[in-house]
A and B are shown apart, each in its own frame.
Chain A
Amino acid sequence: MSASSSSQALEYLEGLPLSTHKKLYEQPSTVLAVFRCMLPHLAKSIVMAMLYMPSSFPTADLDAWFKTSARKEKEHATFTLDRLHIVTPQRQDDGSLSYTMNPGFQRSLRQALEGSGTHRSFGVPATREESGSNRMTTEQLDEYSRSQWEGILYYLVSGAAGLSKDAIDRAEVGPGTKKLLHAGDLVRTVHGSPRITKDGFSFVLQETNAQVWSLLIVYLKMVNDLGMSETEVLAFLFMLGSLELGQDYSTSTLSATQLQMLDDLSAMGLVYRSSKNAQTFYPTRLATSLTSDSGSAMSASSNDIAQANQGNAGPSASANKGFIIIETNYRLYAYTNSLIQIAILSLFTKLQHRFPNLVSGKLTKESVHKAVQSGITSAQIISYLTTYAHPQMQKTVSYIPPTVTDQIRLWEYEGERVETTAGYLMREFGSDAEYRDVLNYASALGVLVWQNDANRCFFVSQVEQISAYLRKKKENRDVARTR
């Protein structure tokens, strides 16, 4: 599944322990980035309402603030806030339950909004002496990041698409990035040439922004081995996301870890440095769009980087995000001359003709089966086709003809009959009322996967919040009993 970019990062952040969160929330830029792109919409409203509140927020008041019809949304918002340790319910002295905000988060978000403090976490712009005479333009930076990122994608797909050995060598990928791709199990080396894995396929089919995050998350998991602090790395990434494109920033205030990161990130094309010892660095569009959602109009241009143009497409490359036309007879026309796009398409399409600006082919049972066997799911194929549907296709409500989507799914289901979800089985409830109550709570949270009313058991994908809920219920019952 091609998860949206921020949800991936959110998942990673949620997995971090409280101590790491506490350290992270010291930096206003981090807090602002977490607020801007990680939180659900209603969670933002809750946080902002509580930000300047002198006391804690009683749960009863919060419940009253939400419409009764919006219970699901409310649970989702408080659930996320709780997992990120931003707003947590706490029992007050008088026994009532109320929400309190993490003081570090509160202080940092206030500083970020007011622009106060001396934290210098939004990047120190380079002085005139440091930046020197030859400044980079935005176009140059885009070109640089595009070529770097394409190199990575090209390296990934080159083996599977059956390109020749010298074509693989043309992809200029640094040893550090190669190591990263291997560590993330996106490629494996088979017979000396890179071979893309199942994860690699889903990686390639994602949007650029999501790709950057997946690679960065692999990077974050590696940093502990490299002797860097995870919090510092994360804080630096969030800072990068808040920088201004086309502005150069000074390296003089950066720590050793951050300087080390600059090297790694410039290999990926997230930052540009004129030389290894340059006193300044430029964030590229890949970096500055890290904390923007793909849904916003402002970041629409960042997807253009996915448009691999091998030199001659030139300026038009920035204007055509969608290029695939697919007909109800499974014929596919792709207006592209990028080798990467063609290579990706060839993973699940039987390509037949190639013209200077167009390739045509057909989705066949064999080609889709081949893709499924090598680990691509039908959902990935459909989401790729949807993401890059031609503007003409986007005029209809479902971009791809329903017959095609259904057939792709059917072809996949021919081979696969079982779907697995990791999670927890809840059973042995005392009464039907209790079962119903917990079940409703689970479905409100959106973690319910399967239920069986006859046997009073259900299956959830995540259990932390449910167990907290059960504990709370038990406490309430005990309190009621002692009175």
Chain B
Amino acid sequence: MNGIDGSDRHIKTEEAPPPSLLAIVLDTNPHAWAHLSSTLPISAALANILVFINAHLASGNGNEVAVIASHSHKTTFLYPTPARPQPKSRHGTANGLVEMNGSGNDPETHMAESPNKYRPFAVVENAILRNFAKLLNETSEGHVQATPTTLIGGALSLALTHINKQTILHAPTAASAESTSLAALADSENAHVDRVPLTSRILIVSVSGDLANQYIPVMNSIFAAQRKRIPIDILKLAGDTVLLQQASDATGGVYMKPERPEGLLQYLMMAFLPDVTARASLVVPSAGGVDFRAACFCHRNVVDIGFVCSVCLSIFCNPDLPDDLCLTCGSYLSLRSAVTNPPALIPRKKKKKKKLGTDSATPGANTPVGSGTPMHP
């Protein structure tokens, strides 16, 4: 008679895991891929990533994907294909209003049906390849010569906005209560999807090295992701940067720097495919020791010891500010005491730190313990 006491009546066993949205930020920096071309050409990498996307889509029926290219001069959606901006919204918010066309149903995208390919896979694949080719065609020599780095900050914010939008679409009652009419309120489909929230994560496939010049936008994105509980996974194929390590550490994501980039697919399948639901039961790889040093706001250098504005917490690498005013908030900062009395540090230790700061701007996980840098266990 145990069943009668009704102790199990509140247990609603939702067996199916919630649908998961994977936003992939693909670093397409031409300089970095040129370096990698001997071991892992970008075409091979893209093919591997497409298989990975298919595997993700197959892993759950409601799973979605978004792919964002972070190029040298702009960031753009590879999938879903952004619709052409409406003429009305040209002024003001040219890049703010981006309508997504995920289905790819417009006649020009209608591709030849292949009986050997599952159709949802084919749709995603075609869109990504087409948009990627378009992006490469639009890249001129001037764009490539202008900068050796990539716009990871912009791509990250695009990914976050997309995730936010999809989350709202999946739970309409939570966010846009005033816009739902009475009819929509009674609509059970809304109530149905309300019960299955979307879990999202971001995967950054990074090849570029120093990203300190984008410290502020990337850091802001990291904090936004942390707040929204969106893990940022990092797959670092080349280069090394403090910033992305911090991103994965702060948001609880996976950080991996494969020793052999040509085995990209196996890394993706093993470490990056399990979604948030599955990760609860798996041991996920992480960065190990994380370098928490910040970049200064004035020269974008990674600094061991900096000067912090007492009002807005901006970081500067040297105290000689013009007119003694903070560059960010304009507050008057009296640095006289700080300059006259250098921080009381044991000289031997300070020497060690200086040496470390000069020989590499961005040391990786092997920052020695006890150097004064906060270490992650």
Shortest distance between the CB of B190 and any CB in chain A (Å): 8
Beta-carbon contact of A322 and B117 below 8 Å: no
Binds B, one of A42-50, A139-147, A336-344: A42-50
What 1/0 mask marks residues of chain B from 204 to 216 whose CB sits below 8 Å from any chain A CB?
A: 0000000000000
A203 an interface residue at 8 Å Cβ cutoff? no
Residue in A64, A66, A115, A322 whose CB lies within 8 Å of B125: A115
Residues A320 and B282 in contact in the complex (CB < 8 Å), given A45-B274, A122-B119, A296-B16 = no
A125 CB-CB contact with B under 8 Å: yes
Q: How large is the interface on B (under 10, 10 to 19, 20 to 34, 35 or more residues)?
A: 35 or more
A116–B116 CB distance below 8 A = yes
Chain A, residue nearest B11 (CB): A398
B170 CB contacts on chain A under 8 angstroms: 297
- B116 CB contacts on chain A under 8 angstroms: 28, 111, 115-122
A365 within 8 A of B: no
B187 CB → nearest A CB, Å: 5
> A322 and B59 in contact (CB under 8 A), knowing A41-B278, A73-B281?
no
Which of A44, A66, A243 is in CB contact (< 8 Å) with B283?
A: A66
Using known A-B contacts A123-B115, A320-B188, determine if residue A297 contacts B278 with beta carbons closer than 8 Å.
Answer: no
B14 located at the interface, meaning its Cβ lies under 8 Å from any Cβ of chain A in the complex: yes
User: B55, B121, B189: which contacts A300 (Cβ < 8 A)?
Assistant: B189
Give Cα A320–Cα B187 distance, bound, in whole angstroms: 6
- A355 beta carbon closer than 8 Å to chain B: no
A309 adjacent to chain B (CB < 8 Å): no
Q: Which of A30-38, A148-156, A346-354 contacts B (4 or more CB under 8 A)?
A: A30-38
Residues on A with C-beta less than 8 A from B88 are none
User: Which of B250-258, B264-272, B338-346, B360-368 makes up part of the contact surface?
Assistant: B264-272
With A297-B170, A297-B193 already in contact, the answer to whether A32 and B58 are too (CB < 8 A) is: yes
Name the B residues within 8 Å of A321 (CB-CB). Answer: 188-189, 192
Q: Smallest Cβ distance from B143 to chain A, in angstroms?
A: 32
- Please, which residues of chain A bring their CB within 8 A of the CB of B1? 413
Knowing A122-B117, A122-B119, A409-B4 are in contact, say whether A300-B281 is a contact too (CB < 8 A). no
Given the known interface contacts A113-B55, A321-B188, the answer about A37 and B61 at a Cβ–Cβ threshold of 8 Å is: yes
B188–A65 contact, CB under 8 A? no
Given contacts A113-B58, A297-B170, A321-B189, contact A409 B6 (CB under 8 A): yes
Name which residue of chain B comes closest to A319, CB basis: B187
Query: Are B191 and A115 in contact (CB-based, < 8 A)?
Result: no
In the assembly, what is the distance between CA of A42 and CA of B283, in Å? Answer: 12
Which residues of A, 206-254, contact B by the 8 Å Cβ criterion? 242-244, 247, 253
Q: Mark B89-118, 1 if CB is under 8 A from A, else 0.
A: 000000000000000000000000111111
* CB nearest to B270 among chain A residues: A49
Residue among B61, B114, B121, B269 making CB contact with A299, cutoff 8 Å: B61
Q: Mark B1-41, 1 if CB is under 8 A from A, else 0.
A: 10110100110101111010000000000000000000000
Residues of B within 8 A of A66 (CB): 281-283
Contact B189 A301 (CB under 8 A): yes
Minimum C-beta distance from A283 to chain B (A): 12
A406 at interface, CB cutoff 8 A: yes
Contacts of B121 in A (CB 8 A): 113, 115
- The total of interchain contacts (Cβ-Cβ below 8 angstroms) comes to 171
B45 beta carbon closer than 8 Å to chain A: no
B44: chain A residues within 8 A (beta carbon): none
| Bound: A321/B187 CA distance, A | 8
What mask results when residues 13 to 55 of chain A are scored 1 for a CB within 8 Å of chain B, else 0?
A: 0000000000000001100100111000110110011011100
Is B356 located at the chain interface by the 8 A CB criterion?
A: no
Interface residues of A in 385-410 (CB under 8 A from B): 391-392, 394-395, 397-398, 402, 405-406, 409-410
CB nearest to A53 among chain B residues: B266
Q: A124 an interface residue at 8 Å Cβ cutoff?
A: yes
**Minimal beta-carbon separation of B195 from chain A (angstroms):** 8
CB-CB < 8 A to A292: which residues of B? 61
List, in ascending order, chain A residues with CB within 8 A of B269's CB.
48-49, 51-52
**Nearest CB in chain A to that of B265: its residue:** A52
Beta-carbon nearest neighbor of A391 in chain B: B191
> Which residues of chain A are near B10, meaning CB under 8 Å?
397-398
Among residues of B, the one whose C-beta sits closest to the C-beta of A322 is B188
- Pairwise interchain contact A42-B278, C-beta atoms closer than 8 A: yes
- Is A67 a contact partner of B283 (Cβ separation < 8 A)? yes
Q: Is B219 an interface residue (CB 8 A)?
A: no
What are the residues of chain B within 8 A of A52 when measuring CB–CB?
265-266, 269
A402 touching B9 by the CB < 8 A rule?
Answer: yes
Taken together as a complex, chains A and B put the C-alpha atoms of A114 and B55 apart, in Å, by 9
| Complex contacts, B60 vs chain A, CB 8 Å | 41, 296
Q: Is A422 part of the binding interface, using a Cβ–Cβ cutoff of 8 Å?
A: no
A112 at the interface (CB under 8 A from B): yes
Pair A41/B277 contact, Cβ less than 8 Å: yes
Q: Using Cβ atoms and an 8 Å threshold, which residues of chain A touch B51?
A: 113-114
Nearest B residue (CB) for A253: B115
Alpha-carbon distance A322/B186, docked complex (angstroms):
9
**Is A298's beta carbon under 8 Å from chain B?**
yes
State whether B58 touches A65 (Cβ < 8 A): no
Contact across chains for B113 and A406 when beta carbons are under 8 A apart: no
C-alpha spacing A155/B122, complex, angstroms: 41
- A123–B122 Cα distance when bound, in Å, is 13
Q: Are A242 and B187 in contact (CB under 8 A)?
A: no
Interface residues of B in 42-82 (CB under 8 A from A): 51, 54-55, 58-62
CB <8 Å contact, A319 and B189: yes
Chain A residue with Cβ nearest B122: A115
Interface residue from A48, A299, A300, A301 paired with B59 (Cβ < 8 Å) = A48
CB of B264, distance to nearest CB on chain A (Å): 10
**Residue A74 interfacial (CB < 8 Å):** yes
Give CA–CA (A52, B47) in the complex, Å: 14
| Min CB gap A26→B, angstroms | 14
Given contacts A122-B116, A397-B10, A413-B1, is CB(A298)–CB(B62) below 8 Å? yes
Is the CB–CB distance between B114 and A115 below 8 Å?
Answer: yes
Task: Give CA–CA (A395, B173) in the complex, Å.
Answer: 11
Nearest CB of B to A404, in Å: 10
Q: A67 touching B281 by the CB < 8 A rule?
A: yes
Instruction: Determine the chain A residues whose CB is within 8 A of the CB of B62 once the complex forms.
Output: 295-298
Residue B325 CB within 8 A of the other chain: no
Kindly provide the distance from the CB of B109 to the nearest chain A CB, expressed in whole angstroms. 15
Q: Mark A105-140, 1 if CB is under 8 A from B, else 0.
A: 000000111111111111111000000000000000
The answer, yes or no, to whether B335 is at the interface (CB within 8 Å) is: no
Question: Chain A residues near B188 (CB, 8 Å)?
Answer: 319-322, 391, 394
> Can you identify 13 A-B contacts, CB atoms within 8 angstroms?
A28-B116, A37-B61, A65-B282, A112-B54, A113-B54, A114-B51, A124-B115, A125-B115, A247-B113, A293-B61, A295-B196, A297-B196, A406-B6
For the complex with contacts A42-B278, A115-B121, A296-B196, 9 further pairs of A-B residues with Cβ separation under 8 Å are: A49-B269, A116-B116, A243-B119, A297-B19, A300-B193, A409-B3, A410-B4, A413-B3, A413-B4
- Chain A residues with CB under 8 Å of chain B are 4, 28-29, 32, 35-37, 41-42, 44-45, 48-49, 51-53, 64-67, 69-70, 73-74, 111-125, 242-244, 247, 253, 292-301, 319-322, 391-392, 394-395, 397-398, 402, 405-406, 409-410, 413
The 7 nearest A-B residue pairs measured at CB? A295-B16, A70-B281, A115-B117, A296-B61, A296-B62, A120-B115, A321-B188
